[in-house]
Amino acid sequence: MAENAKAVIQLSLMVVMSALVAVGTLLIRIPNPMGGYFNVGDVMIFVAALTFNPSIGGIAGGLGSSLADFIGGYPVFVIPTLFIKGLEGFIASLVKDRKSVFRDVLAVVVAGCAMVLGYFLVELFAIPGFGLGGALAEVPGNIAQITIGGLVGIPIALVLRRRLPEILRQ
């Protein structure tokens, strides 16, 4: 297949998966007392990361989640989310091997730890009003997001990896 066709497919997947992450993030939002919110966008981040390559996982995670923060009225998180969720998708995609469910679970755990740590550090040092107590209060909700994201995202990714043509999974 021509390189141009591969580039168009990759760009299209980045856009579609970013949109699905944004919708997943905006679909269910449960505000928490500290100013953030619980959401299920991590499901789609893990679907993108575990099904496709690190570029798609990273772009979809970062762009889709930060777009949801912007649309959803959380502007203070837009830039941190771009990097934290982008890193989450990128790391998950790097760790997975498309052959082992164990590696998928490991990918979710490692990427999830990066996400929880990223938000903890941003809330502790960069967002006024959070402080140590506020940053710590966010950790359980972030862990819950990762857990749900993995429990739902891994089975979806397993099905997609079996069903999608190889050209889409490169």
Does the pTM of the predicted model rise above 0.85? yes
Domain CATH number, residue 89? 1.10.1760.20
Domain boundaries, position 34: 3-168
Number of compact structural domains in the chain: 1
Is the confidence at residue 168, as pLDDT, over 80? no
In this prediction, residue 49 carries a pLDDT of 98
Per-residue confidence at 36, pLDDT binned at 50, 70, 90?
confident
What is residue 170's predicted lDDT score, i.e. its pLDDT? Answer: 67
Residue type at 78 in one-letter notation: V
